[in-house]
Structure 1
Amino acid sequence: MVLALPDEAATAALAARLAPLLRPGDLVCLEGELGAGKTAFARALINALPGPREEVPSPTFTLVQTYPRDGLEVWHFDLYRLERPGEIWELGLEEALVAGASLIEWPSRAGGLLPEERLVLRFAHAGAGRRVTLEPHGAWAGRLTELAG
């Protein structure tokens, strides 16, 4: 599924449609070049979940931030600065994959350590806006039909 995101409002609208589908144990991988919209999407998704509106900075320097949302803890990882794939375990990925929903920017930096069951969003520049390709793996394929409906 490929969607045009002409502006940040369209990115936020997609995040709002995806947010109700998130469950504990989910993994959402956010891929794309610098400035392609990964952090803007993560920010919008976190704030689309039930709970108080929060400041959601890019975790580029902290590597991971957690956000308790009404009944779901969201872990927002940025792996850009990882030196070795195994460092992701030191950031709490194992706990995140069991107890919360994980948003991971730059997932390729984890090598092959991430589970296959995931939703991949590939962001790309498209003129003045962006384009996103949604690639569901495992149970996400059936769940995304809810998004298309």
Structure 2
Amino acid sequence: MFTIKTNDAQQTEKIGMQLAPMLNPNDVLLLDGDLGAGKTTFTKGLAKGLGIKRYVKSPTFTIIHEYHEGRMPLFHMDVYRLEDGGGDDLGWDEYFFGGGVSVIEWSQFIRDYLPDTFLKVKIARNEKDDNQRILTFEPQGKRYEELVDQLKEVIQ
């Protein structure tokens, strides 16, 4: 596990940019945090780091946005609307094992569909300073433990 504090949205985005070059095809990132915590801001940084030039916004209403113009595809998912189910027909494995990076906001709503290994990124507001965020990286599996170790070296 690795925790870092950011002081503004630009720093949160920068950490996503720093992580992006370390990502491999079929990596899965789960982004957990309250509304407005910075999940999409972090994803914008990932997209920039992957070479994606299109504007990245939360796919709340469409559930999944696909970006194919970078170093590898980015599958950005916001599954908040699936809180009561309904994700059976979305072909999760096609995304998780489709040669791109899958980023899932509100992953707890599709827990049964997730792969066994992933990197969970918890993003929380600092209660004392609304601009600050606390990012906690929780690896699940050897690949993601190594990824977090790499990230520590770049950030610290």
Give the TM-score, by structure 2 length. 0.88
Aligned pairs for 1:1-149 within 5 A: 1-51=2-52, 53-85=53-85, 87=87, 89-99=88-98, 100-126=100-126, 127-128=129-130, 129-138=132-141, 139-149=143-153
- C-alpha separation between the residues in 1 aligned to 2:48 and 2:147? 21
How far is the alpha carbon of 1:33 from its aligned partner? Answer: 0.4
Query: How has the CA–CA distance of structure 1 residues 76 and 134 changed in structure 2, closer, same or farther, with 3 Å as cutoff?
Result: same
How far is the alpha carbon of 1:23 from its aligned partner? Answer: 1.2
Aligned 8 A contact 2:50 2:71 in 1: no
Query: How has the CA–CA distance of structure 1 residues 110 and 6 changed in structure 2, closer, same or farther, with 3 Å as cutoff?
Result: same
Deviations 1:79-106 (A, max 9, x none): 100154461x423321111112100000
3-state SS of 2:109 partner: helix
Aligned 8 A contact 2:60 2:81 in 1: yes
Paired letter, 2:109: R
Query: How has the CA–CA distance of structure 1 residues 85 and 118 changed in structure 2, closer, same or farther, with 3 Å as cutoff?
Result: farther
Identity within the alignment, %: 35
3-state SS of 1:148 partner: helix
- C-alpha separation between the residues in 2 aligned to 1:71 and 1:49? 5
Deviates more, 1:99-108 or 1:111-120: 111-120
- C-alpha separation between the residues in 2 aligned to 1:49 and 1:58? 17
Aligned residue pairs: how many?
A: 147
Give the TM-score, by structure 1 length. 0.91
Deviations 1:96-139 (A, max 9, x none): 11112100000000133211210000010112211111001111
RMSD (CA atoms)? 1.5
- C-alpha separation between the residues in 2 aligned to 1:108 and 1:70? 28
Paired letter, 2:15: L
After TM superposition, the runs of 4+ consecutive aligned structure 1 residues lying more than 6 A away are none
List gaps (5 residues or longer) in structure 1: none
List gaps (5 residues or longer) in structure 2: none
